[in-house]
A and B are shown apart, each in its own frame.
Chain A
């Protein structure tokens, strides 16, 4: 099904139930009418997500902090371009992704940063580590150790896979929304998602596999 594409930014599909207004839309309305506190509510609701996305893309805390600030300021300034029929969250995520990529380009001057470069790798396409995991494998590690393992593991993924995994599996965007946000086709998102999932699984297996001979 084809939706008419109104303006450059908002080509995100309308949310289900045309007449049902998402609570965010009401908040956006209030901001437009001059109520800044409503924007604070939106910030509080999505600051973690925006910061996480920025961290995952830039892999740098200072950059992620700047990106978060820039993304929310930009969203604030562009609020009149936000179409009430799209989700505020996906609209915001798109701004955050763009800001993150811009920051990355600035940092790596001269070096092209692209999320749609085709990452050719056979790694993880076929599962190799077929050992089963311990029942609750994360419990063998402290919170800090586990966070470190998860960070290290996801940082090792190719950028184009990592963003797809983060948007789709961590931040909960649909396949279509992820495709729109990144300017990728739906099949491309699907293929990257599968490879991202399998590669992460493969790499985590090192830490989570059931150990032989009763060791813990």
Chain B
């Protein structure tokens, strides 16, 4: 397996949607290729960081404003 073949399957490997055979091949490539190993690990880390950090906090008071807007809308007929 070449590095570009590996890269083409990177997403499927990260998302765990590869067959057992393909996985074995991909893992074999990873063991012998430092570049792809770094790419794989750091890409996975990238996703994990974005998933676990709130970068846009819900502004204070927004929920209350929304609630009032819904109640006002509701008075016109739910």
Interface residues of A (CB under 8 A from B): 34, 36, 39-40, 43-44, 47-48, 51-52, 55-56, 61, 64-65, 68-69, 72-73, 76-77, 126-127, 130-133, 137-138, 146-147, 150-151, 154, 165, 169-170, 190, 193-194, 197-198, 200-201, 204-205, 208
Give min CB distance, B6 to chain A, whole Å.
Answer: 11
CA–CA, A132 and B58, complex, Å: 34
Chain B residue at minimal CB-CB distance from A31: B78
B66 touches A68 (CB 8 A): yes
A69 touches B66 (CB 8 A): yes
Q: Supply 23 A–B pairs (Cβ within 8 Å), ascending by A.
A: A43-B70, A47-B62, A51-B56, A51-B62, A52-B56, A55-B56, A68-B66, A69-B69, A127-B7, A130-B35, A138-B53, A146-B53, A150-B53, A151-B56, A169-B50, A170-B51, A197-B10, A197-B11, A197-B14, A197-B47, A198-B39, A201-B42, A201-B43
Give min CB distance, B53 to chain A, whole Å.
Answer: 6
Q: Does B67 contact A (CB under 8 A)?
A: yes
Interface residues of B (CB under 8 A from A): 7, 10-11, 14, 34-35, 38-39, 41-43, 45-47, 49-51, 53-56, 58-59, 62-63, 65-67, 69-71, 73-74, 78
CA–CA, A55 and B55, complex, Å: 10
CA–CA, A65 and B58, complex, Å: 9
B10 touches A169 (CB 8 A): no
Other A-B contacts than A127-B35, A151-B56, A193-B11, 10 sampled, CB-CB below 8 A, are: A43-B66, A48-B58, A65-B59, A133-B42, A190-B11, A197-B10, A197-B43, A200-B50, A201-B43, A204-B46
B38 touches A131 (CB 8 A): yes
B53 touches A147 (CB 8 A): yes
B55 touches A147 (CB 8 A): yes
Give min CB distance, A50 to chain B, whole Å.
Answer: 10
Residues of A within 8 A of B58 (CB): 47-48, 51
Known: A73-B69, A127-B39, A132-B38. A150 touches B62 (CB 8 A): no
